């Protein structure tokens, strides 16, 4: 039987789980997995439910909207989602994603790669993925982004992935893809935002370095955090040693964050995330 995925969030009140599961039972569906959470600070309710059944689930949504009229209710896609990656020159994050896709170990289709340099074209072409070189030379930032948007219109991706894309996006570009742009930042945010975070970490004498995957917003490196990890370093590490060691953390955390997003496990509430792993 086909599997469906239901996402609900709304202000908390008694009986929400009962109402949702009751509607599913009434329509003859079987619940495969269920996660719910109430944010104690805001008294907001979140629920992710996978269910199966032979009938079409549209009637479930209609009944739930009558039962919980103030809730945001959505049937989420369950197949592979389309992704376009934006990159600059570094290969480790993009290469990891391409390998995962090649091994069928990823819930996404990487439709294309866009870069402001030609450096990674040979890598991308080995995987049969279209590569689009859009130089930023002789273009101001809005003009460059308009050229990128023109290419993206051919793909209509569900998400954009900044796999070490080393350019700051304008608010106008971000507004085109609300909560659809995922970035990997090479530090443990909120520490060391902006450029050269490993140099910043070295100068501060840190004993751990990390990486953070987050949703892109208008404010640099301050969007809702999806996943983070760290590894220990010592006084013997130079900034270059830290950057080299950090690459492994970056690619793993980006892949983890994308999987969570693509499997519809991430809820964004204000500037925080609720994640059902």
pLDDT tier for residue 61 given thresholds of 50, 70 and 90: very high
- Residue 258 structure tokens: 């994308």
The mean pLDDT of 135-149, rounded to a whole number, is 95
Which residue has tokens 């892949």? 255
The mean pLDDT of 68-83, rounded to a whole number, is 94
* 62 among known catalytic residues: no
Domain with CATH 3.40.50.170 in the chain: 81-275
Spatial distance between the Cα atoms of 266 and 104, rounded to a whole number of angstroms: 22
39 pLDDT more than 70: yes
In CATH terms, 81-275 corresponds, of 2.30.110.10, 3.40.50.170, 3.50.50.60, 3.50.40.10, to 3.40.50.170
217 pLDDT more than 60: yes
Catalytic residue among 96, 221, 229, 248: 221
Spatial distance between the Cα atoms of 57 and 4, rounded to a whole number of angstroms: 8
Domain with CATH 3.30.70.260 in the chain: 3-76
- Summarised one tens digit per residue, pLDDT across range 95-113 is 999 999 998 878 999 999 9
262 pLDDT more than 70: yes
194 pLDDT more than 70: no
The mean pLDDT of 69-73, rounded to a whole number, is 96
pLDDT tier for residue 55 given thresholds of 50, 70 and 90: confident
CATH topology of domain 3-76: Alpha-Beta Plaits (3.30.70)
Select from 77, 79, 156, 144 the least CA-distant residue to 112: 156
Q: What is the pTM of this model?
A: 0.90
């Amino acid at each position: 039987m086909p599997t469906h995925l239901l996402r609900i969030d709304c202000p908390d009140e008694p009986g929400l789980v009962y109402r949702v599961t009751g509607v599913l039972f009434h329509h003859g569906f079987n619940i495969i997995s269920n996660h719910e959470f109430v944010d104690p600070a805001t008294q907001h309710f979140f629920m992710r439910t996978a269910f199966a059944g032979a009938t079409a689930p549209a009637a479930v949504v209609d009944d739930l909207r009558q039962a919980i009229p103030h809730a945001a209710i959505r049937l989420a896609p369950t197949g592979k989602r389309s992704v376009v990656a934006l990159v600059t020159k570094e290969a480790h994050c993009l290469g990891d994603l391409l390998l995962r896709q090649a091994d069928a170990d990823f819930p996404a289709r990487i439709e294309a790669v866009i870069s402001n340099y030609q450096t990674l074209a040979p890598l991308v072409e080995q995987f049969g993925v279209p590569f689009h070189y859009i130089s930023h030379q002789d273009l101001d930032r809005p003009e460059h982004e308009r050229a990128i948007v023109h290419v993206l219109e051919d793909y209509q991706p569900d998400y954009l992935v900044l796999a070490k894309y080393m350019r700051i996006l304008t608010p106008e570009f971000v507004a085109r893809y609300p909560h659809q742009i995922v970035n990997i930042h090479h530090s443990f945010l909120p520490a060391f935002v902006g450029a050269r975070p490993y140099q910043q970490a070295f100068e501060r004498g840190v004993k751990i370095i990390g990486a953070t995957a987050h949703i892109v917003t208008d404010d640099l490196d301050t969007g809702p955090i999806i996943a983070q990890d760290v590894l220990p370093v010592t006084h013997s590490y130079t900034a270059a040693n830290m950057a080299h060691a950090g690459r492994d953390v970056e690619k793993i955390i980006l892949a983890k964050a994308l999987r969570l997003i693509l499997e519809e496990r991430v809820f964004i509430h204000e500037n925080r995330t609720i994640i059902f792993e």
